[in-house]
Amino acid sequence: MLKFLAIGLFGSLVGSAIVAIKAAPVEPGTFFTPAIVTATFASAFMGVLLEILRPSK
């Protein structure tokens, strides 16, 4: 169960980080904080959502 949760968290973290990087402004000063916050919240939400939606065995 934890393995699947970790895979879901990692996959959604990578995906949301790519989206945040593409959506972030070009200036280095204003780049990192919104991207990191967005990726963190999105990965946590997606990991919990995948764990809830995954059928339990």
From residue 48, alpha-carbon distances to 6, 21, 44 in Å are 10, 23, 6
- Structure token pair of residue 36: 């990191």
How confident is the model at residue 37, as a pLDDT?
A: 73
pLDDT at 22: 66
In this predicted structure, what is the pLDDT of residue 45? Answer: 80
Residue 2 has pLDDT above 60, yes or no: yes
pTM of the full structure: 0.38
